[in-house]
Amino acid sequence: MKTRIVIAAVGAFAAFGLAGCGEKSQVAEYKQGKYQGKPDTKPWDSNPATEPYVHSTWTPGDRSSWENALKQRALNQNEYLRTNTGG
Amino acid sequence: MARMKFLCDAERCIECNGCVTACKNENEVPWGVNRRRVVTLNDGVPGERSISVACMHCSDAPCMAVCPVDCFYKTEDGVVLHDKDLCIGCGYCFYACPFGAPQFPQAGAFGLRGKMDKCTFCAGGPEKDGSVEEFTKYGSNRLAMGKLPACAEMCSTKALLAGDGDVVADIYRTRVLTRGKGSEVWGWGTAYGAPGGAGGGQPGGAAPAPAQKPQPTKS
């Protein structure tokens, strides 16, 4: 009788201890959501000829030419280039 | 591939709030909504620094991660935008954003919270480029006009730089090399320390630029 109680106690303890091994991770697994909204148009699809006050030029639909136009515009932020005083 | 980024040079920012005004004017942002603001540290103390803050258009944006209706998207040029027709104004993105970029207009009584509004990098939103609907909901679409964000182009000291990350980094690198300081303000070494654990990865360590000594006043 005493042996059974000991075995039952050991079994219960083992089951209780093993329960910890089955614990799920508490760290949330982030999964990139899918955008549910409306599609957006690309900025390089617009026609610079129809835009007022625009000095940049690119070929409508050509992404690389739009990126080059924007790069040239961004380089104007470098006053060392604008004043031609060197590096 | 272009990846649009902002960079604010704390050595140059003079806290004029020209960027804030330019943003407000360009996008006709309503009262109570501040897409961009200037934060000053150690205000009034010698060595104070100011920095212009808006949406940083994170590469792995936490606002996108927490949005329950998935109204955020990232354009091919790296700008984080959202669809206001889908936004439910829950405010999760505000809590997730480390920069406090998402803003909520207090429209109406009882503290009603409107749809989220934030910096669009002057890239508009998911409406036809240059349309009235786009301007009303999201503001100006300067990228579609071949222009950069108004805040950066308006900056008088060119402290705030905007554009392709590579171009902005080149401009800043040239500037730092020319003036001989400032590299410790931004960068991996400042944020995480040098690989050897000796502070900043740049000459001069991770400490900010030395504070100016107050000059004795002449009377």
Residue B146, chain A, CB below 8 Å: the answer is yes
Residue in A37, A74, A79 closest to B163 by CB: A74
Of B70, B153, B162, the CB nearest to A36: B70
Residue B105: which CATH number?
Answer: 3.30.70.20
Q: Rounded to the nearest 5 degrees, what angle is found at the Cα of B202, between the Cα atoms of B14 and B37?
A: 25
How many A×B Cβ pairs under 8 Å? 122
How do B49-53 and B37-41 pair as beta strands?
antiparallel
Among left, alpha and beta (phi > 0; psi -120 to 50; other), residue B70 is left
Question: Is residue B116 situated within a structural domain?
Answer: yes
Strands B160-164 and B4-8: antiparallel
The residue that leads in pLDDT, A16 or B182, is A16
- Predicted pLDDT of residue B203: 45
What tens digit of pLDDT does each residue of B147-180 get? Answer: 999 999 999 999 999 999 989 988 988 888 887 7
Contact flag B129-A55 (C-beta cutoff 8 Å):
no
Is B160 part of a structural domain of the chain?
Answer: no
- Asked if the Cβ–Cβ distance from B148 to A32 is below 8 Å, we say no
CA distance B147 to B5: 14
Mean pLDDT of B189-203: 51
Q: For A7-52, what is each residue's pLDDT tens digit?
A: 888 888 888 777 767 666 554 444 555 788 888 889 999 888 877 7
- What is the span of the domain harbouring residue B111? 4-154
Q: Does residue B163 lie within any of the structural domains?
A: no
Residue of A37, A48, A66 with shortest CB distance to B86: A37
At A48 the pLDDT is 85
DSSP letters, A56-84, are ----TT-HHHHHHHHHHHHHTT-HHHHTT
Q: Is residue B79 part of a domain?
A: yes
Put simply, the answer to whether A71 touches B73 (Cβ < 8 Å) is no
- Say if residue B207's pLDDT is above 90: no
DSSP string across B185-211: TSSHHHHH--TTSSS-SSTT-SSPPPP
Closest CB to A51 among B128, B145, B178: B145
Residue B67 is encoded by which pair of tokens? 């949005």
pLDDT in tens, B87-131: 999 999 999 999 999 999 876 666 677 899 999 999 999 998 889
In a domain, B144, yes or no: yes
The whole-angstrom distance between residue B106's C-alpha and the CA centroid of its chain comes to 22
Taking the whole predicted model, whether its pTM rises above 0.80 is answered as no
> Which backbone phi and psi does B92 adopt, to 5 degrees?
-60, -40
Structural domain includes residue B204 = no
Q: Nearest chain A Cα to B61, which residue?
A: A32
What percent of chain B has pLDDT above 70?
Answer: 79
Is B173 inside a domain boundary? no
Residue B49 predicted with pLDDT over 60: yes
Average pLDDT of chain B, as a whole number = 84
B189 touches chain A (CB under 8 A): no
Mean pLDDT lowest among A57-66, B1-10, B70-79: B1-10
pLDDT at B211 over 60: no
B residues 14-73 near A, CB within 8 Å? 64-65, 67, 69-73
Is A36 within 8 Å of B71 when comparing Cβ atoms? yes
- Residue predicted with more confidence, B191 or B114: B114
Determine the distance in angstroms separating the CA of A57 from the nearest CA of chain B, rounded to an integer: 8
Count of structural domains within chain B: 1
- Check if B149 contacts A (Cβ < 8 Å): no
